[in-house]
Amino acid sequence: MDRLSFSEQCFIIQGIKDNIRNDARTRLDYRYFSIETGILPQTNGSSRLRLAGTEIVVGIKTEIGEPLKESPNDGRIEVSVECTFSTSERRSKEVLNQEITAMMQKIYSGGKAIDLTNLSILKEKKCWILYIDVLVLRSDGNLFDGVSLAIKAALFNTRIPKVQVVPGERSGEIEIEVFDEQQSEKINIKNVPICVTISQVSGFVVIDTTVYEELCIDSSLVVAIDSSSNLFGIRKYGNDGIESSSLIEIINLASKAGQNLHARLDSLLQFEEKNRIQNSLDLDFIHQK
Amino acid sequence: MQKVVLDGNKRLDGRSFQQIRHLYMQQGVNSRASGSAYIESGNTKIICSIFGPRQRKKKSGVKGQINVDFRFCSFANKDETLHKYASLNEKNIAFQIEQTVRTTLKIELLPKSEVDICVLVLQDDGSVLASSLNCVVLALVDAGFEIFDLVSSCQVIKIQNELFIDSTYKEEEESTGIVMISLMPSLSEIAHILQTGEISQLDMIEATKICLDGCAVVYSLIKDLEKLQVKRQIGCFRALPTELF
């Protein structure tokens, strides 16, 4: 699905110009998304996001490791994003993996999105390492947004076990006692940003593009924004430039869209958290629509 | 913050907050390449060579291909591990350069061909991406590619509540947010934008303005250089008095 015929492109662009897209949305409508958390029992936190045809699974594992020399007081977060073969062709898939991973890694290793000092166990010796593994099962466009939403949901679901540092048998050694699961702690996700991709198609601004629409866009701007309008990253893709006068407008639009998305995701997560306790787990996620 | 990056009301190298460093630019430094350029922005020193266009090795597709090879010299940084673009490694910076070149270059004029762009950072003293992009554009002009505009790039960083243009390596270590913009001034279009770290929405708007102003300054410098270059070329065949030029 890497190419569209000229007439197909014209049809999509005309629809965007007329403010009615192929799935009856207007230019600034977002597709409904559903979220499930705690789907992978082996992980410390997990989530599955469905944004129309886009399906993303995130698993977060915690591990005790050693902090980096540059930041002895901080824990670490390692993000890896992998798109399955069905999402696109090989070369573009590799670029996509690399780009999404770089963006997410940059967001989470800054120490502002999640307070990394909270992940420290013992200064210079031991810290928690969060491995965030993202798997894109199917793609129907808008992967940056989808991945960031799914990661936020998984972080909401993540519990870090409570530990205590005790002196070892020999002098100078340390041991770490891990308490049982009931005493695990939540992560503060108040400052976690989500990405909003704003695309431009012949002068019109579009959000939440589908795969076909992504083949018609001139340029797109990915803006990572948290719930109090702080920016965590901006990247530009596409072959055309962006009017310098409209840049600030686009950022303001991204900020508004970001607020709405944060609010919707938060309410979904609260609802999900309540429901999950009542319902049993449903692991048959690959075959479901 | 005072001691690390500021000396009174000025920065350590005597600049004000919104002043860019001295730029030294030279084209045609590598005679074997089809186009090359060397740029010095303060102590940041970058050399860029462009090879091609030549026939594509892989047969698939008719679109022109741009290969960017971006490298730091082993002696470019004082401490390699402590790099501000830590997760933006060489591969990622190369991708950013490729994106910008795609926007700048008329790629549709180069079907079935590929262009190799090699960027080598000899010394890293901050604003590496912005300086590299300026260098690449100079090399593109030297190679005689058709480009939409002389893309000029500039970087702004945020340290606590202050915004610094064209940051040095030391300032970048202290920064919490970085904004880099490449502008195509005569089209007033943004060819590329990259922001990392955390920055509030209001600061971002302010930083954008400062960045665009910086780009305009860089643009005038690049344009002057090109005018000089053209004059020099014409000078070889000059038959008219100098005042006419």
Q: What is the pLDDT of residues A159-211, one digit of tens each?
A: 888 888 888 777 777 788 887 777 788 888 888 999 999 999 988 999 989 88
Q: If you measure CA to CA, which chain A residue comes closest to B199?
A: A231
Structure tokens at B22: 């001295």
pLDDT of residue A85: 63
Segment holding A81, helix H or strand E:
strand A76-83
Q: Which of A102, A237, A243 sits opposite B88 (nearest CB)?
A: A102
The interface residues of chain A toward chain B in range 67-86, judged by CB-CB distance below 8 A, are 69-70
Segment holding B208, helix H or strand E:
helix B201-235
Which of these, B152, B116, B110, B102, lies nearest to B32 by C-alpha position?
B116
pLDDT of residue B235: 63
Taking the domains of chain A in order of start, what are their residue ranges? 6-277
- What gap in Å lies between CA A47 and CA A57, rounded to an integer? 6
What are B58-72's pLDDT values in tens digits? 766 678 888 899 988
Supply angle C-alpha A183, A188, A190, rounded to 5. Answer: 155
Instruction: Specify the CATH class of B2-244 in words.
Output: alpha beta
Q: How far is A204 from chain B (nearest CA, A)?
A: 15
Q: How far is A289 from chain B (nearest CA, A)?
A: 34
Domain A6-277: give its CATH architecture: 2-Layer Sandwich (3.30)
- What gap in Å lies between CA A18 and CA A245, rounded to an integer? 23
Contacts of A285 (CB under 8 A, 6+ apart): A36, A39, A48, A57
Q: What is the residue-averaged pLDDT of chain A?
A: 85
Residue A289 touches partner B, C-beta closer than 8 Å: no
pLDDT of residue A131: 93
Secondary structure (DSSP) of A122-167: ETTTEEEEEEEEEEEEE--S-HHHHHHHHHHHHHHH-EEPPEEEEE
Structure tokens at A28: 């600034």
Residue A235 touches partner B, C-beta closer than 8 Å: yes
Q: If you measure CA to CA, which chain A residue comes closest to B177?
A: A232
ipTM of this complex prediction, to 2 decimal places: 0.82
- What gap in Å lies between CA A148 and CA A82, rounded to an integer? 13
User: What residues of chain A lie within 8 A of the CB of B95, using their CB?
Assistant: 95, 98-99
- CB-CB under 8 Å, A255 with B198: no
Residue A237 touches partner B, C-beta closer than 8 Å: yes
- CB-CB under 8 Å, A243 with B197: no
Pairs across A and B, CB distance < 8 A: 93
pLDDT above 70 as % of chain A: 91
- What gap in Å lies between CA B101 and CA B66, rounded to an integer? 8
What does the CA dihedral A60, A65, A69, A72 come to, rounded to 10 degrees? 80
In single-letter form, the type of residue at position B243 comes to E
Cβ of B157: how many Cβ atoms within 10 Å?
Answer: 28
- What gap in Å lies between CA A116 and CA B178, rounded to an integer? 20
- CB-CB under 8 Å, B87 with A234: no
Q: If you measure CA to CA, which chain A residue comes closest to B151?
A: A241
Q: How far is A109 from chain B (nearest CA, A)?
A: 8
Q: Which of B102, B190, B194 sits opposite A235 (nearest CB)?
A: B194
Please tell me which residue, B234 or B56, carries the higher pLDDT value: B56
Residue A90 touches partner B, C-beta closer than 8 Å: no
- CB-CB under 8 Å, B99 with A237: yes
What are B189-225's pLDDT values in tens digits? 999 999 988 888 888 999 999 999 999 999 999 988 8
pLDDT of residue B47: 94
Segment holding B222, helix H or strand E:
helix B201-235
pLDDT of residue A87: 56
- What gap in Å lies between CA A115 and CA A73, rounded to an integer? 11
What are A38-76's pLDDT values in tens digits? 888 888 889 999 988 889 999 999 988 888 887 788 888
Whether a cis peptide bond, with omega within 30° of 0, leads into A167 is no
